[in-house]
Amino acid sequence: MSDIANALRDLKEDEVKKLVDRRLAAGEPPVSLLAELNQGMVAVGELFSEKKYFISQLIFSAEILKNVMAKLEPLLQAGPQTESKGKVVIGTVKGDIHDIGKNIVAALLKGAGFEVIDLGVDVPGEKFIQAVRDSGAKVLGMSALLNFTYPEMKTVVESLAAAGLRDKVKVMIGGAPCNEQVRAFTGADYYAPDAVAGVNICQEIYA
């Protein structure tokens, strides 16, 4: 693991900030730091699973990452102002309040010129459907970090069909525990392992 990932895993806030500042000052693009930060958070999650970290440490890791992202997000969004490339509805599914990854995806999409309709966290299915209908977005992105929310994503996909919207919108899912199998279970069209992959998928859809 990199020095940034290690510092985040060890909850050394000042160290994380210092390393991030140093790499940005050296001219490194902010997007290249995301994978390392993510690695650090995965390591925190593992320590939590092993009962070596408790919920307080999970909360603290999120605080550290949120503070770092407050610096990185404006940089990720700082693309040249162009005409909207298209609309994307995004949110974290009902029952789940994890939003750091979803916010990164939203920031990168904005930076790439997409109009993002961010519904926030713990989003009920009806709200996703309503937003897709009202906005005419061709992409719906759902974030899920808790495995017991997979059925919720499946329900949203089925509700899109029931509302006559399924052929008008592509559904993309993401979040640490998601994978291709989860995508197949939910009936979503795409699974994105990270935010950059998510942006690439949107670019393909709107090409």
Nearer to ligand B12, 4 or 172 (CB): 172
Query: Whole-number minimum distance, CB 33 to ligand B12, in Å?
Result: 11
Q: Which stretches of the chain are DSSP H helices?
A: 3-9, 13-25, 31-49, 55-76, 100-111, 125-135, 150-162, 180-186, 195-205
Query: Whole-number minimum distance, CB 20 to ligand B12, in Å?
Result: 14
CB 119 within 8 A of CB 146: no
Nearer to ligand B12, 81 or 109 (CB): 109
At 201, is the secondary structure helix, strand, or coil? helix
Residue whose C-beta lies closest to ligand B12: 101
CB 80 within 8 A of CB 52: no
Nearer to ligand B12, 81 or 87 (CB): 87
Nearer to ligand B12, 17 or 81 (CB): 17
**Signed CA dihedral, 3, 66, 113, 79: sign only:** negative
Q: To which residue do tokens 């994105």 refer?
A: 192
14-22 LR contacts (CB < 8 Å, sep 24+): 16/40, 16/64, 16/68, 17/67, 17/68, 20/68, 20/71, 20/72
Report the length, in residues, of the chain: 207
Query: Whole-number minimum distance, CB 34 to ligand B12, in Å?
Result: 6
Query: Whole-number minimum distance, CB 25 to ligand B12, in Å?
Result: 22
Query: Whole-number minimum distance, CB 82 to ligand B12, in Å?
Result: 21
Where along the sequence are the contacts to ligand B12 (CB under 6 A)?
Answer: 34, 38, 41-42, 44-46, 48-49, 55, 58-59, 61-62, 65, 90, 95-102, 104-105, 141-143, 145-147, 172-177, 192, 194-195, 198
Nearer to ligand B12, 59 or 81 (CB): 59
Nearer to ligand B12, 81 or 94 (CB): 94
Query: Whole-number minimum distance, CB 79 to ligand B12, in Å?
Result: 18
